[in-house]
Amino acid sequence: MNRMIDPELKYCPNCNDEYRAEITTCAACEVELFTGVQMQELEQQKQRNKAARNMELSPDDEMVNIRKGPVMQMKELQHLLEREGIPSLAVNEGGACGQGCCGTDLLVQVRMSDVQEAFAILEQEHVRSTGLAGHDTTHAGAVFNTAAENATCPACGCSFSTTQATCPDCGLCFA
């Protein structure tokens, strides 16, 4: 466990926010909170699953591509997955031009049984590396609809008339 879990408090199973014992729902995720004891049990189960996972890949394992990219980025991804107890392969896709001007792209593969956990790790890393953890992303799915009278900016959440093609708050252009 990387953090202290107080059995007397409650925790969000999604965002790991900590709450007083009388609070029942996470303010950010709107899900039911776990007690500290439940969170400790969940963390212990994750550690047991991680310790029991076989880090050796075999030819019989069904492998799934999870990301494609430059060699160095894919090697970093492999190290991240390994730290979390997920074995992976980096394989050459063979898509380089052969003249030395194009970099080689690799495909990172994980076992089919590890895909969901690998994607959760990728999502956490994306949020951490982009700084999105500290931002309100509730409006990220907003769409600028010219047929509507008003629109909500997906970048900042400002509500404005669709007669304007630019958000008056942040300057995001929709034209």
pLDDT digits (tens, 9 = 90+) for 129-166: 877 666 666 777 777 788 889 988 888 888 999 888 89
Amino acid, single-letter form, for residue 118 = A
| Residues 74 and 114 both lie in one domain | yes
| Residues 147 and 169 both lie in one domain | yes
What is the C-alpha separation between 136 and 117, in angstroms, rounded? 24
Return the pLDDT at 110: 94
| Residue recorded with tokens 């047991």 | 48
Specify whether the CB–CB gap between 97 and 81 falls below 8 A: no
Lowest-pLDDT range of 12-16, 60-64, 127-131 = 127-131
User: Is 58 part of any domain?
Assistant: no
**φ, ψ of residue 4 in degrees (nearest 5):** -85, 130
Percent of the chain scored above 90 by pLDDT?
A: 37
What is the C-alpha separation between 66 and 136, in angstroms, rounded? 27
Whether pLDDT at 42 is above 70: yes
Mean of the pLDDT values across residues 83-107?
Answer: 79
> What residues make up the domain containing 31?
10-52
Return the pLDDT at 1: 41
| Residues 70 and 108 both lie in one domain | yes
Mean pLDDT of the chain: 85
**φ, ψ of residue 119 in degrees (nearest 5):** -65, -35
What is the C-alpha separation between 165 and 163, in angstroms, rounded? 6
Specify whether the CB–CB gap between 147 and 137 falls below 8 A: no
What residues contact residue 119 under an 8 Å CB cut-off, 6+ apart? Answer: 66
Greater model confidence, 134 or 74: 74
User: Is 3 part of any domain?
Assistant: no
**φ, ψ of residue 152 in degrees (nearest 5):** -115, 130
What is the C-alpha separation between 101 and 18, in angstroms, rounded? 51
User: Is 163 part of any domain?
Assistant: yes
Helix (H, G, I), strand (E, B) or coil at 64: strand
User: Is 48 part of any domain?
Assistant: yes
Provide the 8-state DSSP code for 26: -
Longest dimension (CA), the chain: 65
Q: How many domains does the chain have?
A: 3
What is the C-alpha separation between 58 and 47, in angstroms, rounded? 23
Whether pLDDT at 29 is above 60: yes
* pLDDT band with cut points at 50, 70 and 90 for residue 80: very high
